Structure 1
């Protein structure tokens, strides 16, 4: 226990030093942006990024669209050298290394900064953007927030003017109306276009595969391994992965189950195990999330907005909400979407209910049932492969 606490403190110390190092480099890049103007080195640049460590979300798909459909536009993708997705982006061309001086220079000189994450192009950048040096560190270009999820909860950090962007992209009409009416952004900022990654959810081949993909919990983030093992989150999903009744269902109906927890929970994945050969634990670096979503016949999640992607493909899903009160009290406040009355699948609140839901769904051949089919059709008014094109047109209108 003492050793784990010591390691936790060391990790926090390393993170803070890393942040200070980036702050210093960013200061140098800021000065260079005045000495070396953009018109000489980065004229009209479109800078695209996700977390900086990956390329498997709306940022990647929008960058792919730019390179293939508008090759004349100067654009660069930001990603770490050791990312498992690096080569995938490099084949499209124009990669800059995340955290490099060139990357930080581009932040200050790019015409458009396009990101899936609210923090944009610097980790924990709120302590730069909102501090006493706010004016010095403000970028010059337009910031386009592509989103990496679909907003269903009340996210106070995205309320204007706490959070400011020039375009706030929404996936569906109900989400657009909720953000527009609740988050207070100026007219024209919030746009209903659909998400870039939706362009690639129209053609897929389904396996006899169940995807278990729960979201994270803010209150679990700082825990060491011992504390995490005592959490309700660990106990709930560990119970499923080791229960003989799950193995019985998988064997009888000839399915596999893949456990792929949220990016923020992946660090705890080695603590999970399953004695069953039909259950696989999916490491972030080895599995692509969109591939898993497209090839799976059934999704089990909790509160993750990943269910919108799955529903977009008109496939069945189950919500396992064993800790509903705790989640909404300690993680996100409840938003406009209620899974019990608006959801695209059945809700299980207990473990036995979950097993029943799994069994009845695979027994029915993982066919999408009513009323979920009708709810999905109503929710997605836009259902085509032109999402990236609509976003591109919105960005171009900022230039007029």
Structure 2
């Protein structure tokens, strides 16, 4: 067990014990994401919305990363550093714990007591198969949360899926819209940009990406010339889990590799076209009804059950052209740039959107008042 994980358990245990002797303050909300390591996702957007719209509530972001703590502090954003002893009392007194990557509270701290109200906003609609995670029933016996009080999903279909996967009671689910999607819709603008956002491939090395996924230098030169001609910029955002380096882009004026840890929502809001593969990122982008290119050079390998496997028939839920080479990517982009598209993809996008989002009219206010009902 890594030393950092031991410290995390020790601090979480201390907070759990402190919460046993502390009275909950019903206006204190704590937010966290990705195990406490990043400022991101639905928790981030709900947190920022709360700061703007419900100043009567006392809201804090909780992080275990010093750089994140310093950055948020410099912007005067209310933030607590988890490994600061002075934070223990405040965390122990909080009534609301808001997470995105954990249904038992790990984004804020590991051992959330049953006296708290635990909200899981989750981090995306699943496209790939997920492993079943049995309920940790021992947590109930010792006064810890083993499931959230509310789990946000965008459809009843996902409610059934997560209920089965994580053994969460069906009545814990709330069908609404993701806070990050509400933010995306409100900030959408046309910037003549393209976003390429591939997902990660489990256990695949640099050689695999070079051979099957990444473009060659020659292909990048051709693509860059096309982008210059039509005055477009091409952004590449790798998944943080990818263990491979994209080709060097120093000589390409209109192609840029951005940090894997940047907030992808900012790039989505500006992009006229999204290029992706098996990433669920396109579910967010569907809300903008813009062109999507599915670049799937290794579909036969990726879709095998022995790898990740997919929850749905891929063609049924991916409303966009499918390509398997970078030449095809460029050809499709030229068609889009010339406004020569003749297809029913817009109809398909709306049909897919309606399947995965059944309560799009619900905004952050609906989520907030649902949380307050849980008191």
- TM-score of Structure 1 vs Structure 2, range by shorter chain: 0.7 to 0.9
Report the equivalent of 1:95: 79
The answer to whether structure 1 residue 233 and structure 2 residue 209 are counterparts is yes
Q: Note the C-alpha offset of 1:330.
A: 5.4
Displacement after TM superposition at 1:366 (Å)? 7.9
Q: Is the 8 A contact 1:213 1:262 kept in 2?
A: yes
The number of residues matched between the two structures is 358
1:9 maps to which residue?
Answer: none
Q: How does 1:19-168 map to 2 (within 5 A)?
A: 19-34=5-20, 36-39=21-24, 42=25, 45-51=28-34, 52-79=36-63, 80-83=65-68, 86-87=71-72, 90-91=75-76, 93-103=77-87, 108-118=92-102, 122=106, 137-140=111-114, 141-157=116-132, 164-168=147-151
Match of 2:175 in 1: 192
What does the per-residue CA deviation read over 1:331-378, in whole Å, with 9 as the maximum and x for residues that have no partner?
Answer: 53421x333122121222344443433333333278984443442453
5+ residue gaps, structure 2: 138-145
Q: 1:117 to 1:354 in 2, by over 3 A?
A: same
Q: 1:172 to 1:359 in 2, by over 3 A?
A: farther
Aligned match of 2:195: 211
CA contact (8 A) 2:97 2:119 kept: yes
User: Do the aligned residues in 1 keep the contact of 2:41 with 2:180 (CA within 8 Å)?
Assistant: yes
Q: Which protein is richer in helix relative to its size?
A: 1
Moved more, 371-380 or 54-63: 371-380
**Quick check: 1:383 aligned with 2:360?**
yes
User: CA, structure 1 residues 322+277, in 2 after alignment: closer, same or farther (shift >3 Å)?
Assistant: same
After TM superposition, the structure 1 = structure 2 runs for residues 1-16 of structure 1, keeping only pairs within 5 Å, are 16=2
Residue 120 of structure 1: CA displacement? 6.1
Q: CA deviation at 1:255?
A: 1.5
User: Do the aligned partners of residues 119 and 238 (structure 1) sit closer, same or farther apart at CA in structure 2, a change above 3 Å counting?
Assistant: same
TM-score w.r.t. structure 1 length?
0.77
Gap regions ≥5 residues in structure 1: 1-14, 130-136, 221-227
Measured on the aligned residues, the alpha-carbon RMSD in Å equals: 3.3
Alignment partner, residue 339 of structure 2: 364
TM-superposed CA distance for 1:74, in Å, is 2.9
Provide the secondary structure at the position in 2 that maps to 1:309: helix
Distance 1:145 1:217, change over 3 A: farther
